């Protein structure tokens, strides 16, 4: 087996306690011996055994990230940022992709808990369920360790949230579109999560503020695959074929927005004149559109950074906000018309 603290202590001519102190940057070690010990460690390529360490400290400096599907464009980015910021704070990341079924989420959470991670991050609003009982696993976990929620809002002791005010972002997006003259707005969404609901209510509020009518058939739920652009285009086509008339589409994510742009082309519509489109997330997909998709940037990097910052504070027993709420920003590109100054 590899070197132990005993080997080092022997070679350095000190006790194991001193070696341990050096390892933990304890004070009360003279600079001379500290250096000697460090030299010996270096010379012998010593690495402390994390298990033994964890046994004593009951922490592994590791955070569990739960994520439904880390291959999703948006979640992948989130995981990436989270991992980076965690590492900057000397924490490791155990990744756990749960899929979308409540049952698996619960299982995955239990697994992380059994690994004695120091905290858990729930990445994405799909970890919050409609039926309150399904959220029991979060409350249970929060009794043992801090639970951080990205893009979701949950009230419970030891649960902290960072999210974007999607409602407000959507109010803003809707009003911007209306101001540019597109008043028959079709809203497309594909998820009924908390965040999805906030967006929907934002669109409705935006329409109401603009004094426009709110018709249920103008809020359409796309239930198909998140990766099948074709199917999304067909979905929009069907709506149009069904007699729905619209000159603006607001989409709950960029994939749907991209589909809207594709639909417009196939229908021979001119973007943004005949049809304006706004997406959500400001992801790579927005730049893949032709013309490029206007999209709401929901500050993912800032969200992640703040989330980790808050988490570290909690772990250090410092006080930290229970909720950190950011504002989204509409990035206007080729699929929207800037509103005329005089309207």
Contact residues for a second copy (CB under 8 A)?
1, 47-55, 58, 60, 62, 65, 69-71, 73, 76-77, 79-81, 83-84, 87, 92-97, 110-111, 113-116, 227-230, 258, 262, 265, 284-285, 287-290, 292
* 6 lies in the site for DNA, by CB under 7 A: yes
Q: Which residues contact 244 (CB under 8 A, 6 or more apart)?
A: 186, 217, 218
Choosing from 43, 57, 95, 288, the residue that interacts with DNA (CB under 7 A) is 57
Phi/psi for 228 (5° steps) reads -100, 90
Cβ 94 to a second copy shortest distance, Å:
6
Among a second copy, DNA, none, what does residue 115 contact (CB within 5–8 Å per kind)? a second copy
Least distance from DNA to the Cβ atom of residue 199, Å: 45
Of 43-51, 66-74, 169-177, 317-325, the window that binds DNA (rule: CB under 7 A) is 43-51
Q: Measured from the CB of residue 27, what is the shortest distance to DNA in angstroms? A: 6
Among DNA, a second copy, none, the one that 287 touches (CB under a kind-dependent 5 to 8 A) is a second copy
Residue 60 in the binding site for DNA (CB under 7 A): no
Position 16 contacts DNA (CB under 7 A): yes
**Smallest distance from the beta carbon of 226 to a second copy, in angstroms?**
9
Judged by CB under 7 A, how many residues of this single chain contact DNA?
A: 31
Q: Could you give the CA distance from residue 247 to residue 181 in angstroms, rounded to a whole number? A: 9
Biggest CA–CA distance in the chain, Å, is 86
| Residue with Cβ nearer a second copy (144 or 209) | 144
Residue 342: is it exposed, middle or buried by C-beta count within 10 angstroms (0-12/13-18/19+)?
exposed
Task: Choose from a second copy, DNA, none: what does 215 bind? Cβ within 5-8 Å by kind.
Answer: none
CB 147 within 8 A of CB 119: yes
Does 21 engage in binding with DNA (CB under 7 A)?
yes
Whichever of 57 and 284 has its CB closer to DNA, that residue is 57
44 lies in the site for DNA, by CB under 7 A: no
Judged by CB under 7 A, which of 10, 44, 53, 184 binds DNA?
53
Nearer to DNA, 111 or 325 (CB): 111
Does residue 27 belong to the site contacting DNA (CB under 7 A)? yes
Sites for DNA among residues 187-216 (CB under 7 A)? none
Backbone angles phi, psi at 204, to 5 degrees: -60, -45
Q: Which of the listed partners (DNA, a second copy, none) does 6 bind, with a CB threshold of 5 to 8 Å by partner kind?
A: DNA
CB of 28 to DNA, least distance (A): 4
- Residue 181 Rama label (left phi>0; alpha psi -120 to 50; beta): left
Residue 70 contact among a second copy, DNA, none, beta carbon within 5 to 8 Å by kind: a second copy
Does residue 200 contact residue 253 with C-beta atoms inside 8 Å? Answer: no
**CA torsion angle 37 42 46 48 (round to 10):** 60
Q: Does 150 bind DNA (CB under 7 A)?
A: no
Query: Which residues bind to DNA, rule: CB under 7 A?
Result: 1-2, 4-6, 13-18, 20-21, 23-24, 26-30, 32-34, 48-49, 51-53, 55-57
């Amino acid at each position: 087996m590899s070197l132990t603290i005993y080997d080092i202590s022997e070679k350095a001519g000190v006790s194991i306690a001193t070696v341990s102190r050096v390892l933990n940057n304890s004070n009360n070690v003279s600079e001379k011996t500290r250096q000697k010990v460090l030299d010996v460690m270096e010379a012998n390529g010593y690495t402390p055994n994390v298990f033994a360490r964890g046994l004593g400290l009951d922490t592994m400096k590791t955070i569990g990230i739960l994520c439904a599907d880390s291959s999703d464009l948006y979640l992948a980015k989130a995981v990436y940022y989270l991992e980076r910021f965690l590492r900057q704070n000397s924490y490791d990341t155990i990744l756990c992709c749960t899929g979308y079924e409540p049952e698996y989420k619960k299982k995955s959470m239990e697994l992380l808990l059994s690994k004695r991670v120091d905290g858990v991050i729930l990445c994405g609003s799909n970890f919050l369920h409609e039926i309150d009982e399904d959220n029991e696993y979060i409350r249970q976990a929060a009794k043992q360790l801090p639970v951080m929620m990205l893009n979701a809002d949950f009230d419970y002791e030891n649960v902290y949230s960072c999210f974007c005010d999607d409602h407000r972002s959507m109010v803003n997006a809707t009003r911007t579109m209306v101001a540019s003259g597109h008043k028959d707005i079709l809203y497309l969404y594909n998820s009924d999560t908390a965040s999805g609901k906030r967006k929907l209510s934002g669109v409705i509020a935006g329409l109401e503020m603009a004094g426009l009518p709110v018709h249920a058939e103008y809020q359409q739920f796309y239930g198909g695959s998140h990766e099948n652009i074709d199917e999304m285009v067909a979905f929009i086509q069907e709506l149009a074929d069904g007699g729905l008339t619209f000159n603006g589409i607001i989409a709950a994510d960029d994939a749907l927005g991209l589909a809207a742009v594709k639909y417009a082309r196939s229908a021979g519509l001119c973007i943004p004149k005949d049809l304006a489109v706004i997406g959500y997330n400001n992801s790579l997909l927005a730049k893949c559109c032709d013309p490029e998709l206007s999209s709401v940037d929901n500050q993912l990097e800032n969200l992640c950074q703040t989330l980790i910052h808050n988490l570290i504070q909690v772990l250090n027993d410092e006080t930290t906000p229970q909720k950190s709420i950011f504002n989204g920003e509409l990035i206007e590109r080729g699929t929207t018309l800037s509103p005329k100054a005089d309207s």
